[in-house]
Amino acid sequence: MSEHPGFTIWFTGLSGAGKTTISEIVAPALRERGLKIEVLDGDVVRTNLSKGLGFSKEDRDTNIRRIAFVADLLSRNGVGVITAAISPYAELRREARATMGERFIEVYVQASVEECAKRDTKGLYEKAFKGEIKEFTGVSDPYEAPERPEIRIESEHEEPEESAERILQLLEQRGLIPAAVTA
C-alpha cells in the first residue's frame, strides 16, 4: 500500500437521488486500487457522532460540521473519504471546502423530487407530502443546489456505473488516485 494524498468525495443531493448507490460502487473500486477508504454515510454519522440531533437548520449544520471535521482529519492523513449526507445548505458545504481545499471533491447527485419519491421504498416522501414528516428536504425543507460542483450527476439520465466511472476519472486526473491497472 503506497502513500497517496487523501481526499473527500462529498456527495450531496436529495434523499433517494442516488448518493449511496453510487458511493457503493465507488468505494470498492477505490479499495481495489489499494487505497484506504472510509465511508461516512448519513446513518453511520447520525449514530456515532450526532445522536440526539434533529433536522432543524441548526442541527443539520452541526451534523454537517461534524462530518467535515472527521473527513478533514482522515483525508489530511492520506485516507480517501466518502460522505453521503444530504447536506442541503450551500454555506456549510463551502465551509467544508474551505477546510479541505484541494482535497474536497463535491459531487452533486441530481434527481427530481418526483423521481426520488418514486424510488423511495420506505415511504418517507409520501409521509412528507402528507405533512407527517416535518423538515423533509426537497418537500418541506430547502435544498440549495451546488453551483459549481466538481461533478454533476443527473441520476435520471445516467447509470450509477457511469457516474462512478466519471468520479474515478476525475480523481485520476487530479492525481488523487493512481491510474487503474489495466490487465
105 exposure class (CB count in 10 Å sphere: 0-12, 13-18, 19+): buried
56 contacts a second copy (rule: CB under 8 A): no
Looking at the Cβ atoms of 38 and 115, the one nearer to a second copy is 38
Is there a catalytic annotation at residue 87?
Answer: yes
Which single residue is written with the C-alpha cell 407530502?
129
Looking at 29, 30, 64, 74, which residue binds a second copy (CB under 8 A)? Answer: 74
Looking at 46, 65, 152, 174, which residue binds a second copy (CB under 8 A)? Answer: 65
Q: Is there a contact between 100 and 75 (Cβ–Cβ < 8 Å)?
A: yes
Looking at 28, 31, 43, 73, which residue binds a second copy (CB under 8 A)? Answer: 73
Q: Which stretch binds a second copy (CB under 8 A): 62-70, 108-116, 127-135, 164-172?
A: 62-70
The answer for residues whose C-beta is within 8 angstroms of residue 39's C-beta and 6 or more apart is: 23, 27, 81, 82, 83, 84
1 contacts a second copy (rule: CB under 8 A): yes
Looking at 21, 46, 49, 127, which residue binds a second copy (CB under 8 A)? Answer: 49
Other Cβ atoms less than 10 A from the Cβ of 81: the count is 25
